[in-house]
Amino acid sequence: MERFASWLQNELETNGWDQAELARRSGISTTHVSRLINDQRDPGPDACNRIAKALKVPVMLVFREAGLAAPRILGNRSADQKEALLDYFEELAAADRERLLGMARVLYEQAAPYETGEGAGNAKD
């Protein structure tokens, strides 16, 4: 689980948090957080859920980093972006999902002049 420990440490640094802050925000004991960071304990589903809520990231992202869900396709930026978008989408309330879909439609329509074969409809990655 060295990958999870490194990922979690990076998330703490990104947020400017120490282990105690993650423990406070997630409801996980400081001892448990320390063991996760020091790769002395594997995270379980409950810890992953709590960490995701504390960090305000999709639960599936934390599950993937913990090795509890299938990893994304490495090296395929387009697939990674789709997976990330789906992760966030699944965490939204139904009304917010509709708003996001509406925004995506507007972006697509603004970016894709179909007649020329250019734009979002033919984006290459």
> DSSP letters along 14-34, please?
HHT--HHHHHHHHT--HHHHH
Q: Is the pLDDT of residue 23 over 70?
A: yes
> DSSP letters along 27-96, please?
T--HHHHHHHHTTSS---HHHHHHHHHHHT--HHHHHHHTTSSPPPPTT-HHHHHHHHHHHHHHHS-HHH
How much is the pLDDT for 125?
Answer: 47
What pLDDT digit, counting tens, does each position of 26-52 carry? 999 999 999 999 999 999 999 999 999
Query: Does the reported pTM lie above 0.85?
Result: no
Task: With beta carbons less than 8 A apart as the criterion, state whether 67 and 43 touch.
Answer: no
Task: With beta carbons less than 8 A apart as the criterion, state whether 72 and 79 touch.
Answer: yes
Q: Give CA separation, 79 vs 20, 60, 71, 108, 125, in Å.
A: 35, 15, 11, 18, 10
